Amino acid sequence: MAAPRLVSVLGSTGSIGVSTLDVIARHPQDFAVYALAAHSSVDSMLEQCLQHRPKYAVMMDQDSAERLQKKLPAACGTEVLHGEDALASVASAAEVDSVMAAIVGAAGLPSTLAAARAGKTVLLANKESLVMGGHLLMQAVRESGARLLPIDSEHNAIFQCMPVDEQARPGRDGVSKVLLTASGGPFRTWTGEQMREATPDQACAHPNWSMGRKISVDSASLMNKGLEFIEACWIFDLSPELVDVVVHPQSIIHSMVQYLDGSVLAQLGNPDMRTPIAYGLGWPKRLASGVAPLDLVATARLDFAAPDESRFPCLRLARESVAAGGTAMAVCNAANEVAVAAFLGGRIRFTDIPVLIEGVLEQLPAVEPTTLAVVETADNEARALAAALLVDMTGQPLEVTLA
């Protein structure tokens, strides 16, 4: 019997990380946890370490690491590390087979790059890695022979519907278009005036998916779909005109691929992230995920509509950043992260999010993202400019964390 494959789960205390550990626990003969990584959720990390007994646990700051180390019993056998270097180390360690890249936001890019450069099977749930550094990440995948398996439900669906080789490299033979589905979020039927008065709790009340607050707001604004649009162009080597967004409120069809012969292949399933996670972990085999099978009779109907970019301008801004190229996508992502944080903190209205992003994109020229340092500089400049524009909008300063 083959030894279990070793997995590093980066972002283990978030929703994707928790679902990943759930799937791993269902297949102890196939997988074992090498490392867990989280930002500062000490108590959640403690529970995960006691259950999964990883070799390493990584916290982003020293204080959280020290508190975790004190709480961990010696018998657990887990060594606690902290900081970005430790994160990159557990992502690229020789023993590791697969890396679940699920750290939210720009913070996930360096460790995802480290895993790709080390030739790992990268289970990509951190879309910002491609939005910010798509050129660098895809180059690393090609040069190292790494496998990149998308975990976002939409990209995982596209991957399942496209021709793929033994290295998990998608092909485009016969493909005419990719149809990226969007639920439309909680404000799908709201007017612009209603959205202007929306609260953070309302924005985070997604009708189909259970997600963290940042990604929930992105789903409400359709920026999440904009980021996924950028991600699809990178993963599947598609020009923007070959990707369409289709609003599908039921979130049953996770995305589709249209072929030259008129065929449209779709991947369907209940809205549960354990399905794409199990697909990524087991590829090319299929694994039980714990997700109930889809009942098409109970589903009864499937609806589709074109997105309304006048009410949801974030989707337009993401498309424009692809057209601009270079670091424009990283700037768009950074400005969005600042804007969403400001909205969740009660500093701006929901409808101010695209206003702030567009202001940053208009003022920062795109440059060629030749190195990670160039991307991080663009990210920092965008955050600083967004913070300055926020002062103009609110009259109050905002503390912004830079890379």
- Over residues 99-130, the pLDDT tens digits come to 999 998 778 889 999 999 999 999 999 888 89
Q: For residue 315, report the phi and psi dihedrals to the nearest 5 degrees.
A: -65, -40
Cα–Cα distance between 37 and 41 in angstroms, integer? Answer: 10
CATH assignment, 5-150:
3.40.50.720
Q: In the structure encoding, which two tokens stand for residue 326, read together?
A: 């270079």
Cα–Cα distance between 215 and 27 in angstroms, integer? Answer: 28
Sketch the domain layout of the chain as residue ranges: 5-150
CA-based torsion, 245, 251, 257, 261: positive or negative: negative
Phi-psi region of 238 (alpha: psi -120 to 50; beta: other; left: phi over 0): beta
User: Using CB atoms within 10 A of its CB, is residue 1 exposed (0-12), middle (13-18) or buried (19+)?
Assistant: exposed
**pLDDT tens for each residue of the chain, 403 residues long:** 688 999 999 999 999 999 999 999 999 999 999 999 999 899 999 999 999 999 999 999 999 999 999 999 988 999 999 999 999 999 999 999 999 999 987 788 899 999 999 999 999 998 888 988 899 999 999 999 999 999 999 999 999 999 998 888 888 899 999 999 999 989 999 999 999 999 999 999 877 766 778 888 999 999 999 999 999 999 999 999 999 999 999 989 999 999 999 999 999 999 899 999 999 999 999 999 999 999 999 988 999 999 999 999 999 999 999 999 999 999 999 999 999 999 999 999 999 999 999 999 999 999 999 999 999 999 999 999 999 999 877 666 555 454 4
